[in-house]
Chain A
Amino acid sequence: MSPREIFALRDHLGAELTGRTLSDARHVVSLIDILSQTVLGGRLRELSGCAVLLKLSDQLRSGLAMIELDGIARRMLLCPPDLDPAHLDALIADAGIDAVVTDEPDRWAATGVSLVVTAQLPLQATAPAQTERATEWLMLTSGTSGVPKIVGHTLEALTGAIVAEGPAKGLAPVWATFYDIRRYGGLQIFLRAVLSGGSMVLSDPHEALADHVARLNARGVSHISGTPSHWRKLLMSGSAAQFAPGYVRLSGEIADQAVLGGLKAAFPNSSVGHAYASTEAGVGFAVNDGLEGFPANYLGNRNGVEMKVVDGSLRIRSTRTAHAYIGRNAAALTDGDGFVDSGDIVELRGDRYYFVGRRGGIINIGGLKVHPEEIEAAINRHPDVRMSRAKSRRSPITGGIVVADVILADGTDQARAKEIRDQILDQCRAQLASHKVPAVIRFVEALDVTPAGKLARTDA
């Protein structure tokens, strides 16, 4: 009896397709003959069965190395660009790393990792490799403090949602994302591009947004994803006017009605959808009706994804979730029944669930628990507001009060600031309990966004 057939990324890259590329701001690599080329200097054989740390300074070589290593390495750990080097030793020990793929081989010369392989461009010719095994994909969570957790996936789990949706209709899509592909949200797009027969345009953290958009246009990007914070930045930049993607996707943060409406107005001919996914829970679902939240009937078993709400948080069980946290002191990733607790708090209003915030992001206002995201959603409903951040501020009277930093939309007359502040407060009072209404609203020019594309919440 033959073992169940294992598909690796290379098995999705057939020679029958033409014109497929993977590109960044400096290079364009054809995906057509990628299987007879190597970014690893022809040293793939040495990495067979290894636990490989993928630690590269750019996404392009990372993506090419993923294609090459998948199905050959035993496991590969993807390092996002903002990984604190101080955490590397702990991660290497926890993941049992015995090889590293890097572009800085000198840095690894005197470390305990015995096998160091340099990833390099241009690609070199090599004999195509055969898939040997199902490689374990290890990703890092994007929490802000401490050593990130290592989350174990298989390619099958990572691509479950992509396979379920089936091949893209019409022309092969050209995908792009504001994410880095070494994070879950970005990896989903990279895998979509590989599996869907399309191309992909990578982001570059050093590139100005206007230049990035020009590059997306020049490469004919049709499908693009990012966090609501990424999209708000694009809407504020004035660069959106030159861009007309067919499909706009949001994930990674709560997509409120304001940002969905803003994108629909900026891209009237595009489909705008938001997806719910996390590194641990995998892809849960996509919402394409243009509304925030999701229909209540998504709970239960739907397309192989089971969802329920326990103690206010969304719990997910499916074949797309990660299978475990990896490491010496790793906690259980699922409960006894196989459900992942997403930590995302939802609230049922009418026949729809709405995301109100993260369990870990609650701020304390005079002894009452408040989700800053709920306040931001109320503020963002004002037509002159582009982005906002609510946080707590110490108060000698009540212990804490809500304050909000607000970015006004491009072209808002600053003379109207007081009027707008009053309108925002009226709006918040109509929609929120009184302790959630900001005591102070400050207009700011910018708000920090983390390297993972999420609004920075240093106080949460």
Chain B
Amino acid sequence: MSVRSKVIEAIQQIAKEQHVTLPVLSDDLSLHETGFDSLAFAILVARLEDETGVDPFTISEDAAFPATVGDFVRAYENVPA
């Protein structure tokens, strides 16, 4: 499974659990518009760390948290294996 589909699947799973109705997950959708609160993002990052072995937001001290779904996915895609 590609990194992108892992991320999208995790977002959808958490949305289901949190009873969040997601809009279409286009790359330029701002993360704010997903309807996720900070707890939902914390869950997402923790689960993706377990699945992929990386947490791109802790690796670098100055990593800015992404603004859009596309940025978020790329944060995982750009981590060197």
In the bound complex, residues from chain A placing their C-beta under 8 Å from that of B39 are 366, 398, 401, 434-435, 439
Stretch of B1-9, B21-29, B40-48 contacting A (4+ beta carbons < 8 Å): B40-48
In the bound complex, residues from chain B placing their C-beta under 8 Å from that of A397 are 38, 41-42, 45, 57, 65
Residues of chain B in range 22-69 having any CB-CB distance to chain A below 8 Å: 38-39, 41-43, 45-47, 50, 55, 57-58, 65
Q: How large is the interface on A (under 10, 10 to 19, 20 to 34, 35 or more residues)?
A: 10 to 19
Bound-state CA distance A440–B43 (Å) is 7
In the complex, are the beta carbons of A393 and B17 less than 8 A apart? Answer: no
In the complex, are the beta carbons of B38 and A439 less than 8 A apart? Answer: no
Chain A: minimal CB distance from B46 (Å): 5
In the bound complex, residues from chain B placing their C-beta under 8 Å from that of A398 are 38-39, 42
* CB of A36 within 8 Å of the partner chain: no
* CB of A77 within 8 Å of the partner chain: no
* Per-residue interface assignment for chain A, residues 320 to 334, with 1 indicating a CB less than 8 Å from any chain B CB and 0 otherwise: 000000000000000
In the bound complex, residues from chain A placing their C-beta under 8 Å from that of B38 are 366, 397-398
In the complex, are the beta carbons of A401 and B50 less than 8 A apart? Answer: no
Chain B: minimal CB distance from A104 (Å): 47
Query: Across the two chains, which residue of chain A brings its CB closest to B47?
Result: A440
In the bound complex, residues from chain B placing their C-beta under 8 Å from that of A395 are 42, 45-46
Chain B: minimal CB distance from A80 (Å): 37
Chain A: minimal CB distance from B63 (Å): 8
Chain A: minimal CB distance from B7 (Å): 15
From the candidates B17, B46, B57, name the one contacting A401 in the complex (CB within 8 A). Answer: B46
In the bound complex, residues from chain A placing their C-beta under 8 Å from that of B41 are 397
Q: How large is the interface on B (under 10, 10 to 19, 20 to 34, 35 or more residues)?
A: 10 to 19
Bound-state CA distance A133–B38 (Å) is 64
Residues of chain A in range 405-453 having any CB-CB distance to chain B below 8 Å: 422, 425, 429, 434-435, 439-440, 442
In the bound complex, residues from chain B placing their C-beta under 8 Å from that of A393 are 46
In the complex, are the beta carbons of B45 and A396 less than 8 A apart? Answer: yes
In the complex, are the beta carbons of B55 and A439 less than 8 A apart? Answer: no
* CB of A314 within 8 Å of the partner chain: no
Bound-state CA distance A49–B41 (Å) is 65
From the candidates A425, A429, A434, A439, name the one contacting B46 in the complex (CB within 8 A). Answer: A439
Chain A: minimal CB distance from B75 (Å): 11
In the complex, are the beta carbons of A401 and B58 less than 8 A apart? Answer: no
Chain A: minimal CB distance from B33 (Å): 17
Bound-state CA distance A434–B42 (Å) is 12
In the bound complex, residues from chain B placing their C-beta under 8 Å from that of A439 are 39, 42-43, 46-47
From the candidates B17, B43, B50, B58, name the one contacting A396 in the complex (CB within 8 A). Answer: B58
Chain B: minimal CB distance from A428 (Å): 10
* CB of A403 within 8 Å of the partner chain: yes
In the complex, are the beta carbons of B47 and A396 less than 8 A apart? Answer: no
With A425-B17, A429-B17 known as contacts, the answer to whether A401 contacts B55 (CB < 8 A) is no
Chain B: minimal CB distance from A130 (Å): 66
Chain B: minimal CB distance from A417 (Å): 14
Bound-state CA distance A191–B65 (Å) is 61
Bound-state CA distance A435–B37 (Å) is 11
Bound-state CA distance A434–B19 (Å) is 12
Chain A: minimal CB distance from B65 (Å): 8
In the bound complex, residues from chain A placing their C-beta under 8 Å from that of B55 are 396
In the bound complex, residues from chain B placing their C-beta under 8 Å from that of A401 are 39, 42-43, 46
In the bound complex, residues from chain B placing their C-beta under 8 Å from that of A442 are 50
Bound-state CA distance A37–B73 (Å) is 77
Query: Across the two chains, which residue of chain B brings its CB closest to A394?
Result: B58
10 further A-B pairs in the complex, CB-CB below 8 A; given A396-B58, A398-B39: A366-B42, A394-B58, A396-B45, A396-B55, A396-B65, A397-B57, A401-B42, A439-B46, A440-B43, A440-B47
Chain A interface residues (CB < 8 Å from chain B): 366, 393-398, 401, 403, 422, 425, 429, 434-435, 439-440, 442
The 7 closest A-B pairs by CB, nearest first: A439-B43, A397-B42, A396-B57, A398-B42, A395-B42, A396-B58, A397-B41
Q: What are 12 A-B pairs at a CB distance below 8 A?
A: A366-B39, A366-B42, A395-B46, A396-B45, A397-B41, A397-B45, A397-B57, A401-B43, A401-B46, A425-B17, A439-B46, A440-B46
